[in-house]
Structure 1
Amino acid sequence: MELNHLTSESARIDAILPDKDRIRLIQRDHWYTYPRGDAVLSHMERLYQHARIDRMPNLQLIGESMSGKSRLLNRFALELHPAILDSRLDADFRPVVMFDAPTTTTSQALLQEMLIAVNAPFSVGANPTRLMAQIEKVYRRIGVRILIIDEIQHIVRGSGRQQRELRDQIKLIGNRLRISIVAAGIPEASNAFASDPQLSNRFHRLELKRWHINDKDDLKYVVAVIKSWQETCPLKKQSNLLNESIVQRIFDETGGLFGHIIDYLKIASEYAIVSGDEYIHENTFRKMGWRIPKEVEDRYFA
């Protein structure tokens, strides 16, 4: 069987696996280098390497749902700086701790989530002062350098008093632990720190925007991702995903959101295996069962 359309030996080996195994490979998380993602990872790495100072620099990462935000955070926390769990050590080493902001907008809930994220037991009735004292002890012991709080938009859904309380708590966490904080969320979270100039000034802001087909750079980078997918996806025949009409279709049906683009390619590739076609073509997109996401439909088809 000729598999010359696949550019690596490992991809050619994958292509001769049983169908169910190839589908699992397609469904896995994939990482593709692209400038916006690289810029975010580089900034986070700078925070990770930063000297400990009284006022540590922080990052606010804003992006629509499916913009690739969560994949970037997981890439940094779980793949580039994973925890080291070793029973021979006195304590685990967790340089990056990540968790979702609680939907209950209180300092107590935030601090509890920080302890849950590192599997540290705590008293449910403990007040914020006691919880913070425990966090200082635990986080120093396990070597935390960066705290990632995802879904930070939950903060702005509380009352004015609750929002102030949480902003003050986040400021205290940074001051006491002397660690950098990455606060990530959807555009609703853009103003999470705006009403506190002291805190806002500590957070550099980066935004993950949609890709636009009319932007030459955006088009180039998305085409590069599609090309990489085509050259590594374990299908037995060559697809022609770089055809202009197919690239246009991918943009149209995903709204240029990075997460949707990857999901679109995954579903098309799965269908190519299940159908027996073994390559992706125009009929694949019509038959594979893709449903245009609501946020794309509302924006482009209203």
Structure 2
Amino acid sequence: MSGDSHIHPDFRHILGLSQRDRIAFMDQPRWIGYQTANMIMDTMRGFMDKPARPRMPNLLIVGEPNNGKTTIVRRFAELHGQGFVNDDAEPVKPVILTEAPPSADEKGLYVALLERFWAPYRATDPLPKLRYQVIHQLRTCHTRLLIIDEFHSLLTGSAIKQREVMNAIKFLCNELMIPIVGVGTREAVRVLHTDPQHASRFDVASVPLWELNKNFQRLLLWFERVLPLKDESTLHQPELAAALHAICAGNLGDLHRLLVECATEAINTGKERIDKEIVEGKAWMRPTKGIREIVG
């Protein structure tokens, strides 16, 4: 099927660009508002609207690597975390998104947070000084939600170090009375189990792998709407959907990379549509325990 009705109206003009520009277009970040992502974002938005109290709700978002967790929180920060100056000429940073230190380290956590404020600090300063500098920055900037990505990194280190950094997170939550959101692999749940008090403070939201069902087919329909191919591929049809799912194993990031590779080949060869032959030719992209192996 030719024409451009299969492409979203906002992107139909891309079909008139060169092959190189169309391929470059596919590498641009693009948001997919699927059900689980919207539910998690609604939960975080609800956290920001809650009145301050000593024990604020917290959330741990877990899922397989490359399955969209970081994309969700970055999108949330983009929509709700942009800094501004309020009517009292005070700087406001509603959402702070940082990354956990590579290992369980309280000082590393404070340094990562101070970096998000572009605040001057000395990494050699004693812990109490860095701790209260972080508190001052979060309080002065009226931060309402703190997001810590790569939360599972806090498993790296001794049990004492893990306990120290988790106690630091609990202290920040109590002192500032703001919700905290952790983001990581499923191993991150083990961080909470280091202390029953930590586990009781966090709800866990899972970003599951996609099953081969109608939701996955709808996802493929959305992808087809933004792939700049001149002919319709009907990715959502059962045979093609099953072939794509067999390679990406339901991982959203792997699916995106697979479709970009397939669409790139369709553009370069002049085929202008993704068919089963192109998909099966990308079997080498099948992940094996998180590692992509070339298969014969």
Query: How high is the TM-score relative to the length of structure 1?
Result: 0.89
TM-score, normalised by the number of residues in structure 2: 0.91
Shift of 1:280: 0.9
Counterpart of 1:233? 227
Change beyond 3 A, Cα 1:288–1:294: closer
Q: CA deviation at 1:151?
A: 1.0
In 2, Cα distance between the equivalents of 1:85 and 1:295? 43
- In structure 1, C-alpha distance between the alignment counterparts of 2:81 and 2:264, rounded to whole Å: 30
- Residue 274 of structure 1 aligns with an amino acid whose one-letter code is N
Aligned to 1:58: 58
Contact 1:235 1:278 in 2 (8 A): yes
User: Gaps (5+ residues) in structure 1?
Assistant: 214-218
Shift of 1:18: 2.1
Corresponding position: 1:93 with 2:87? no
One-letter code of the match for 2:15? A
- Offset, 1:91: 5.3
Q: Supply the distance in 1 between the matched residues of 2:49 and 2:268 (Cα, whole angstroms).
A: 46
Secondary structure at the aligned position of 2:192 is classed as coil
Identity percentage over the alignment?
26
Where does residue 19 of structure 2 map in the other structure?
A: 19
Q: Compute the displacement of 1:19 (Å).
A: 2.1
Shift of 1:232: 3.0
Count of aligned pairs = 292
Give the superposition deviation at 1:3. Answer: 2.5
- Paired amino acid for 1:172: F
- What residue is the counterpart of 2:162 in the other structure? 163
The letter of the residue matching 2:141 is I
Q: Spell out, residue by residue over 1:66-116, the C-alpha distance to the aligned partner (whole angstroms, 9 max, x if none).
A: 2211111111112x1142357x99554321111111013221111111101
CA-atom RMSD in angstroms: 2.3
> Match of 1:210, SS?
coil
C-alpha separation between the residues in 2 aligned to 1:195 and 1:84?
A: 35
Amino acid at match of 2:116: A
The Cα offsets for residues 237-286 of structure 1, whole Å up to 9 and x where unpaired, read as 11121232211111110111122112211221222222222111122224
CA contact (8 A) 1:6 1:12 kept: no
1:98 and 1:46 mapped to 2: Cα distance?
17
What is the match of residue 45 of structure 2?
45
SS of structure 2 residue aligned to 1:148: strand
The yes-or-no answer on 1:142 pairing with 2:141 is: yes
Which moves more between the two structures, 184-193 or 15-24? Answer: 15-24
Secondary structure at the residue paired with 1:70?
Answer: helix
Secondary structure of the corresponding residue to residue 147 of structure 1: strand
> Whole-Å Cα distance in 2 between the matches of residues 140 and 24 of structure 1?
42
Q: 1:10 deviation in Å?
A: 2.1
Equivalent residue of 1:231, what SS?
helix
